[in-house]
Amino acid sequence: MSDQSEQEIVSPSDQPKQLSDDQAAYWRANVTTLLSLLSVWFLVSFGCGILWVDALNQYQFFGWKLGFWFSQQGAIYVFVILIFIYVVRMNALDRRFNVDEDQ
Amino acid sequence: MSAQVLTYVFVGLTFALYIAIAIWSRSASTQEFYVAGGHVHPVANGAATAADWMSAASYLSMAGIIAFEGADGARYLMGWTGGYVLLALCLAPYLRKFAKFTVPDFVGDRYYSQTARVVAILGVVFISFTYIAGQMRGVGIVFSRFLEVDIDLGVLIGMGIVFFYAVLGGMKGITYTQVAQYCVLIFAYLVPAIYISLMLTDVPLPMLGFGSTVNDGSGTFLLDKVDGLSQELGLSIFTEGSKSTIDMFFITAALMAGTAGLPHVIVRFFTVPKVRDARISAGYALIFIALLYTTAPAVAAFARLNIVDALDNRAYQDLPAWFSKWEDSGLLAWVDKNDDGLLQYRGGAALDPVKPRYSDTRGDLGERILKNQPTDNQNEVYIDRDIIVLAHPEIAQLPNWVVALVAAGGLAAALSTAAGLLLVISSAISHDLLRNTLARHLTDKQELRWARVSAAVAIIIAGLFGIYPPGFVAEVVAFAFGLAAASFFPIILLGIFSTRMNREAAIAGMLSGLIFTASYIIFFKFIAPEFNTAEYWWLGVSPEGIGTLGMILNFLVSFIVMQMTPPPPQEVQDMVRNIRIPR
Say if residue B324 is in the same domain as residue B300. Answer: no
Residue B391 exposed, middle or buried by CB count within 10 Å (0-12, 13-18, 19+): buried
The pLDDT of residue B150? 82
At B476 the pLDDT is: 67
Q: What is the mean pLDDT of residues B240-246?
A: 92
Q: Which of A28-32, B35-39, B131-135 has the lowest mean pLDDT?
A: B131-135
Backbone dihedral region for residue B502 (phi beyond 0: left; psi -120 to 50: alpha; all else: beta): beta
Are B221 and B348 part of one and the same domain?
no
Residues B39 and B142 in one domain: yes
Q: How far apart are CA B383 and CA B394, in angstroms?
A: 15
Of A49, A71, A101, the CB nearest to B582: A101
CA B200/CA B214 separation, integer angstroms: 6
Q: What is the pLDDT of residues B168-181, one digit of tens each?
A: 888 988 999 999 99
Measured distance between the N- and C-terminal CA atoms of chain B, rounded to whole angstroms: 57
With cut-offs at 50, 70 and 90, classify the pLDDT of residue B472.
low
Range of the domain at B540: 3-306+398-579
Q: Which amino acid is at B19?
A: I
In a shared domain, residues B131 and B181: yes
Cα–Cα distance for residue pair B162/B154, rounded to 1 Å: 12
CA distance A9 to chain B (A): 5
The predicted pLDDT at position A7 comes to: 41
The Cα of B248 is separated from the nearest Cα of chain A by a number of Å equal to 7
Low-confidence winner among B116-120, B165-169, B228-232 (lowest mean pLDDT): B165-169
**Partner-chain contact B82 A30, CB within 8 Å:** no
What is residue A6's predicted lDDT score, i.e. its pLDDT? 40
Regarding whether B339 and B237 lie in a shared domain, the answer is: no
Across the interface, whether the CB atoms of B71 and A23 are under 8 A apart is answered: no
What is the C-alpha separation between B134 and B137, in angstroms, rounded?
Answer: 5
Nearest to B286 among A5, A83, A90 (CB): A83
Query: What pLDDT does B205 receive?
Result: 97
Do the chains contact at A30 and B89, CB–CB below 8 Å? Answer: no
Counting one residue from chain A and one from chain B, the pairs whose CB atoms sit within 8 A come to 159
Same domain, B51 and B130: yes
Mean pLDDT of B15-35: 87
pLDDT at B473: 59
Partner residue facing A50 (CB), from B81, B249, B294 = B249
> Is the CB of A72 less than 8 angstroms away from the CB of B574?
no
CA distance B315 to B312: 9
Torsion angle in degrees (nearest 10) through CA of B35, B41, B47, B53: 30
Could A76 and B99 be called an inter-chain contact, meaning their C-beta atoms sit closer than 8 Å?
no
Q: Which of A94-103, B463-472, B497-506, B537-546 has the highest mean predicted lDDT (pLDDT)?
A: B497-506
**Helix/strand/coil percentages in chain B, nearest 5:** 75, 5, 25
A27–B82 C-beta distance less than 8 A: no
- Put simply, the answer to whether B239 touches A57 (Cβ < 8 Å) is yes
pLDDT at B12 over 60: yes
Which chain A residues are closer than 8 Å to B82 by Cβ? 41, 45, 75, 79
Domains identified in chain B, total number:
2
pLDDT of residue B575: 94
Please check whether residues B227 and B282 belong to one and the same domain: yes
Residues B148, B176 within the same domain: yes
| List of chain B residues whose C-beta atoms are within 8 Å of the C-beta of residue A27 | 580-581
pLDDT tens, residue by residue, B322-373: 898 888 888 899 999 998 999 999 988 999 888 899 988 898 888 899 999 9
Radius of gyration of chain A (CA): 20
Q: What mean pLDDT comes out for the span B412-432? A: 91
Q: Please answer yes or no on whether B93 and A90 come within 8 Å at the CB atom.
A: yes
Buried b (16+ CB within 10 A) or exposed e, B234-246: ebbebbbbebeeb
CB nearest B99 (choices: A2, A51, A75) = A2
| Partner residue opposite B89 with nearest CB, options A5, A20, A38 | A38
Please name the member of B211, B282, B578 whose beta carbon is closest to the beta carbon of A8: B578
Residue of chain B with shortest Cα separation from A78: B82
A88 touches chain B (CB under 8 A): no
Residues of B in contact with A101 (CB under 8 A): 274-276, 582-583
B403 and B366 co-located in one domain:
no
As a whole number of angstroms, the distance between CA B494 and CA B12 comes to: 47
Which of A50, A72, A100 comes nearest B245 by C-beta?
A: A50
Please report the pLDDT score of residue B35 as a whole number.
87
- What is the Cα–Cα distance from B86 to B95, expressed in whole angstroms? 13
Do B574 and A13 lie within an 8 Å CB cutoff?
yes
Find the helix packing angle between B151-201 and B275-311, rounded to 10°.
Answer: 80
Distance CA B527, CA B509 (A): 25
Are B474 and B344 found together in one domain?
A: no
Are B453 and B427 members of one domain? yes
Whether B1 has a pLDDT exceeding 80, the answer reads no
Q: Does A87 touch chain B (CB under 8 A)?
A: yes
Separation between Cα atoms, residue B334 and residue B31, nearest integer Å? 56
**Interface contact flag, A80 B286, Cβ < 8 Å:** yes
- Residue B471's pLDDT band (boundaries 50, 70, 90)? low
A91 interfacial to chain B (CB closer than 8 Å): yes
Distance of CA B202 to the CA centre of its chain: 31
Q: pLDDT by residue (tens digit) across B498-512?
A: 999 999 999 999 999
CA atoms of B256 and B103, how far apart (whole Å): 18
Of A31, A62, A68, the CB nearest to B239: A68
- Cα A97 off chain centre by: 18
What percent of chain B clears pLDDT 90, i.e. is strictly above it? 59
Residue A1 pLDDT? 37
Cis peptide before B204, with omega less than 30 degrees from 0?
no
Largest CA distance in chain A: 61
| Contact indicator for B429, B459 with CB cutoff of 8 Å | no
Based on C-alpha coordinates, what's the Rg of chain B? 24
Which tens digits make up the pLDDT trace of B265-276?
999 999 999 999
**Mean pLDDT, residues B75-89 taken together:** 95
pLDDT bucket at A9, cuts 50 / 70 / 90: very low
Taking Cα atoms as reference points, which of B59, B323, B316, B40 lies closest to residue B182? B59
Q: Are strands B368-370 and B358-362 parallel, antiparallel or unpaired?
A: antiparallel
What is the predicted pLDDT for the residue at A10? 42
| B294 contacts A71? CB cut-off 8 A | no
**What ipTM score was computed for the predicted complex, to two decimals?**
0.94
Digit-coded pLDDT (tens) for A54-73: 999 999 999 999 999 999 99
Strand partners, B368: B362
Rounded-to-integer distance, Cα B91 and Cα B112, Å? 19
Q: What is the pLDDT of residue B32?
A: 87
Nearest-CB residue to A83 (from B88, B211, B221):
B88
Question: Would an 8 Å CB–CB cutoff place A57 in contact with chain B?
Answer: yes
B213 pLDDT band, cuts 50/70/90, is very high
In chain A, residues 6-45 whose CB comes closer than 8 Å to chain B: 6, 8-10, 12-13, 20, 23, 26-27, 30-31, 34, 37-38, 41, 45
Half-sphere exposure of B384 (CA within 13 A, CB side): 19
Residue A15 has pLDDT above 60, yes or no: no
* Buried residues in B207-232 as b, exposed as e (16+ CB within 10 A): bbbbbbbbeeeeeebbbbbbbebbee
The pLDDT value given to residue B256: 96
| Phi-psi category of residue B72: left, alpha or beta, with phi > 0 → left and psi -120 to 50 → alpha | alpha
For chain B, the average pLDDT equals 90
Which residues contact residue B363 at a Cβ distance below 8 angstroms, ignoring those fewer than 6 apart?
Answer: B336, B369
Q: What is the pLDDT of residue B391?
A: 87
How many Å apart are CA A51 and CA A72, to the nearest integer?
14
Query: Looking at the structure, do residues B383 and B517 belong to the same domain, yes or no?
Result: no
**Inter-residue contact B60 to B386 (CB < 8 Å):** yes
- Residue A8 pLDDT: 42
Domain-terminating residue out of B364, B380, B395: B395
Tell me the CATH number at B115: 1.20.1730.10
Nearest CA distance, B339 vs chain A (angstrom): 39
d(CA B102, nearest CA chain A) in Å:
13
- Count of CB atoms within 10 A of residue B378's CB? 15
Query: A19 vs chain B: nearest CA distance in angstroms?
Result: 11
Q: Which of B370, B395, B420 is the last residue of a domain?
A: B395
Strands A60-61, B351-352: pairing is unpaired
Residue that terminates a domain, selected from B395, B418, B434: B395
